[in-house]
Amino acid sequence: MGRHLWTKLALSYLAIAVIAVGLAALLFNFALSKQFMGYVEEKQRLKDEEIITLLSSIYEKDGQWNPQRLRDVMNLWMMSGKEITLLDSEGRQVMDCRDSMEEMGSGARQRMSRMGMMCGWEWSRGGWNEAPPKEKTQSSPVTKATPSNIEGRRIPVYVGERKVGTAVIRPVGDEEIFSLQDKSFQATVNRWLWGVALGAGGFALFISLGIARHLSRPIQDLTGAAQGLRNGDLTQRVKPKGKDEIGQLANAFNHLAESLERQEKYRKRLTGDLAHELRTPLANLQTHIEGLIDGVLPLTPENLISIHEEILRLGRLVGSLEELNRAEASRLNLKREKADLKILVERTISQCQPRYFDKDVGLRVSLPEPSIELSVDRDKISQVLNNLLSNALKFTPKGGSVQVAARRKDGEVEITVRDTGIGISEKDLPFIFERFFRGGNGENGAKGLGIGLTIAKELTEAHGGKIEVKSALNRGTEFTVRLPLRL
């Protein structure tokens, strides 16, 4: 049971719902009982007042207490669940309704004294409780009480200003203030209340199961996909539902899986590319050296230069891989020093100029006057520019042009390298800074390992800067390097 997230969720929702419904039912019961008690007491008070007014009018009619008249009305009150003892102005008992009832016979007496116990519920301070079964003998005894020890609510009876007696009023049979109807009403409300609470609990169970399933489904999907990924299936993706945290988690997972899949693809392609890059110079070296050994090739300076070039090519390849390694570690060991932007850019450009000249690609420069002073690792920034310039040259056909510009903007230095080359397709654009990525599946004929821009990005970010790209296919590309102006 406890193993699944959805069962845990469902159980917690259910617990919360049951506690809330239970509490609400208890509070409602408490408030209702209190209100009802107040209502019943008010009803009693009004009834008592009615009795006193009637007694007063009886006395007023005869100028004294007339037992015959009193007996008639007292019997009537007994029927409505009240016992009364009437005392005269001196405190002597004039009439007790039990006496009057004795005269009516035992059948009627028993019926009346049982009133108030028939519904089986009685009120006590704690709320509504089932009444304990009453002994049969309890319902009928009529004991004579002396005027002073009679219990009940004592209300004086006045005629005008004159006190003519006192009425002692109490409920019939027991010390209860609730009538049969009151008790039955309370019992019905209680039954409904607990019935509704039970229904609400059942409904809460149903809803909590549904919500728990709905909430845990995307997490289950994610868990399944993550396990698939762990087992080596990099094509695993989940459908993000909604924009909440789970939706964001699903998006992040998909992003991670895509990135892993891409990296894996690049890694495999790099192995192939590296083998190819290594095989060509190695094969050239082998043919040259075998030719020299066999005496087919003469040991001339030209043949030695050829061998030397192949060795340099191999060296460059290994050097590129080392560079990438260094760039990735460069965040930790930057050698910042004051540098003049103009001098830095011009020096880098002068290194590339011959290659531009050879390919017949124009190179124009526009630098700010006066120059800007930067605090950077000169070699690293020069390498960033170098990588951008060699890309621009590599991907710009003969006769095209490249423009380098620098300016100060919003507390930053902005260096742009814009070319009129082949451009980058929209499909490739998001990936060009990734390790070993080569545009057009590396089929555009241009040589390289796909690490120049990764190095440029690493080095720029190590300086707290940013590198951005804009490109239009067959129209050209613009790289922008932003460096914070920190001295």
Ligand X SMILES: Nc1ncnc2c1ncn2[C@@H]1O[C@H](COP(=O)(O)OP(=O)(O)OP(=O)(O)O)[C@@H](O)[C@H]1O
Q: Which residues of the shown chain bind Mg ion in the complex (CB under 5 A)?
A: 391, 448, 452
Shortest CB 356 distance to Mg ion, Å: 15
Please work out the total of residues on this chain that contact ligand X, with binding judged by CB under 6 A. Answer: 22
By CB under 6 A, tell whether 448 contacts ligand X.
Answer: yes
Contact 234, 257 (CB under 8 A): yes
CB closer to ligand X out of 328 and 340: 328
CB closer to Mg ion out of 391 and 420: 391
Tell me which H or E stretch contains 293. helix 245-294
Select the residue interacting with ligand X from 109, 438, 463, 482 (CB under 6 A). Answer: 438
Output the six-digit token pair for 338.
């004051």
Residue 26 neighbours by CB under 8 Å, 6+ apart: none
For the chain, how long is the longest CA-to-CA vector? 162
Select the residue interacting with ligand X from 81, 116, 450, 465 (CB under 6 A). Answer: 450
DSSP string, 41-82: HHHHHHHHHHHHHHHHHHHHHHSS--HHHHHHHHHHHHHTTE
From the list Mg ion, ligand X, none, which binds 477 (C-beta under 5 to 8 Å, kind-based)?
ligand X
Select the residue interacting with ligand X from 238, 415, 422, 462 (CB under 6 A). Answer: 422
Separation CA 483–CA 465 (nearest Å): 4
C-alpha angle 448-454-455 in degrees, rounded to nearest 5? 90
CB closer to Mg ion out of 70 and 384: 384
Separation CA 335–CA 339 (nearest Å): 12
Residue from 308, 279, 259 nearest 431 by CA: 259
Shortest CB 399 distance to ligand X, Å: 16
Shortest CB 259 distance to ligand X, Å: 17
DSSP string, 217-254: HHHHHHHHHHHHHHTT-TT------SSSHHHHHHHHHH
By CB under 6 A, tell whether 437 contacts ligand X.
Answer: yes
Select the residue interacting with ligand X from 164, 270, 432, 459 (CB under 6 A). Answer: 432
Residue from 98, 64, 240, 66 nearest 168 by CA: 98
Contact 159, 60 (CB under 8 A): yes
Q: Which positions from 275 to 314 touch ligand X by CB under 6 A, shown as an x/- string?
A: ----------------------------------------
Separation CA 94–CA 67 (nearest Å): 8
By CB under 6 A, tell whether 327 contacts ligand X.
Answer: no
Q: What is the DSSP letter of 135?
A: P
From the list ligand X, Mg ion, none, which binds 392 (C-beta under 5 to 8 Å, kind-based)?
ligand X
From the list Mg ion, ligand X, none, which binds 240 (C-beta under 5 to 8 Å, kind-based)?
none
Shortest CB 407 distance to ligand X, Å: 20
* Interface of this chain with ligand X, residues 361 to 420, rule: CB under 6 A: 391-392, 395, 419
CB closer to ligand X out of 152 and 448: 448
Select the residue interacting with ligand X from 117, 452, 459, 462 (CB under 6 A). Answer: 452
CB closer to ligand X out of 348 and 454: 454
Q: Which stretches of the chain bind ligand X, using CB under 6 A?
A: 320, 391-392, 395, 419, 421-424, 432, 437-440, 448-454, 477
